[in-house]
Structure 1
Amino acid sequence: MTATSFRARASQGATAGLLLALFLFPRVASNYWLDVFTSAFFYVILALGLNVVVGFAGLLDLGYAAFFAIGAYTTGILTTVYHVPFLLTVPAAAALAALSGVVIGAPALRLRSDYLAIVTLGFGEIIRITAKNLTLTGSASGIYGIPRPTVFGHALKTQQDFYYLLLILAIVTYLAMRRLEHSRVGRAWKYIREDEDAAAAMGIDPFRYKLLAFVVGAVVGGLAGTVFAVRMTAIAPESFGFMQSVLILLAVILGGLGRLPGVVLGAFLIVLLPEAMREFASWRYFLFGALLIAMMHFRPEGLWPAGRRKMPQSGRAALNGGDGR
């Protein structure tokens, strides 16, 4: 057995063991820790969606909570006002989030860098303020009394039910993002991220692929919003503010841009670290911020950064004039 195959099998074994532990966790955990881990799975889904935009395509999005809000309000309105079953609201929320991604992405993606960030920030605030002022969205009070969902004949009521629902959704989202990362589209995103002009010279349409990244990220955010609405049974505009977008972006950067395992790690850390520091009361966010500053100073590429491919020996030899030195 080669060292590479041994590492691959060890990694697969560790992954299988981790998944088994997560599925058995509700048997030994209290409701408090079930709630904490359920929130962590929720942020894993959101961070994986934002990673498509920021990590794969290299676009700075400061208004990602807007798509999360669109999904949540779509489910909230359809279930409380029109009494639509939860599962039927899911495709509606995904479609509306995708449409919103196109509406904001089509004009904004012709911009770059800070200008794009400002536009996405404005979009996020527009969605929040609109939700705060519309009667249909419950104005500042939001929507309450959202019914618990029934999935394939099983009514989700307990904390354990939502734990397993979000765990399964996080796994499915991760596998989908991994498949997308290694696809032709994923490679095009990475080329655009590294050098947009060079990618265009190679025949890649930067606008088309950046818009696709925006839509994919919007759909994932919208789907996460549907689960958030039925889990909390009440939503309000304050849940979708700028700081929510920053927190999701922080998970992506903390773990490692474009690195899926790192994004998952970052999402867990932004949920678990404040909880672990709860005994310090008002100091915990100060300590959390200090840890983040230290991490960004000593490891700015993230805790689990994407590795770089090593150039084959033949390639190094060619660059050195064929002598291999």
Structure 2
Amino acid sequence: MQQTRLDIARIRAARQVIDPVFLDTPLYRCEALESSLGCAVSIKLETANPVRSFKGRGTEVVAGLLAEHGPRAVVCASAGNLGQALAWSGRGRGLDVTVVASRFATAAKLDRIRALGAGLELVDGDYELARERAAAIARSEGIRLVEDSLDIETCEGAATIGLELVGSATPFDAVLIALGGGALATGVGHVVKALTPGAEVICVQPLGAPAMTLSWRRRRVVTTEAADTIADGVAGRCPIPAVLNDLLLAADDAVLVREESIIAGMRMLLDHSGLVVEPSAALGIAAILEDRDRFAGRHVVTVVCGSNVDLDVYRRWVGAAPGDGL
């Protein structure tokens, strides 16, 4: 019988390790969105923290363990958010952090990694090439490789979001979760299925970067030649088998959304919620926009998972002018 790698007891224990600045993030019903979307929508806001994404929950668990028992030097590949989070968590624990990223990654994310004191190496390729380079550095220098989603601590750190959802007074019957490498989706999905089994767990991925969704649908790893999406945080091409196994148990559905729906979701979150978000954070709203009948009359939670954007690019996406205060 297939089993998940995640464990509820460890997830509960993770809350004791994670800096409180990342915990108990706002969860609120956003009525301003509801007339446009046709359903009740609650937002779980994972951007009001020092790294402006949910990733700090997982890196806090990783860095806490390394500070006690592991090597003091670590390397990871990142599209930007994990690198920021590991740099932040490592700095507070005296770890030597190196981040490998694509030189085409969001400039604001790369600048923040540098500002947090991590070493940054850029590769002339996408996230998958950065993963290969990070693994090579770990082998050659004998340091710890932190792999997002494969390292269970990154999933169980993210899963603490699920504990906060099911422990709140906000009733919901579906949760929409951005799907990339899988840490957020498997973590939150596992907790929701275990503790609120009546709620539907729906993972959302861009049509231009569908590898994990295709893998979930076919129940085997499916890789893609390219990833073409503005949602850089979920633009992987090569799913990790162990993470897919966890996702198969945690998700009720996985859907793909178009780029124009992602942009429309970002614009709605700005106009109706006052939130500047990165494309990955708007995937849940995009899913509702593309299938209103499915969600009509339901209460849906969407996890707003990051807000690290280049503002000039963001303005072009949402049609805002510099004078609009962005």
So what's the TM-score if we normalise by structure 2?
0.28
Structure 1 or 2: larger strand share? 2
Which protein, 1 or 2, shows the higher relative CO under an 8 Å CA cutoff with sep ≥ 6?
A: 1
Max Rg structure: 1
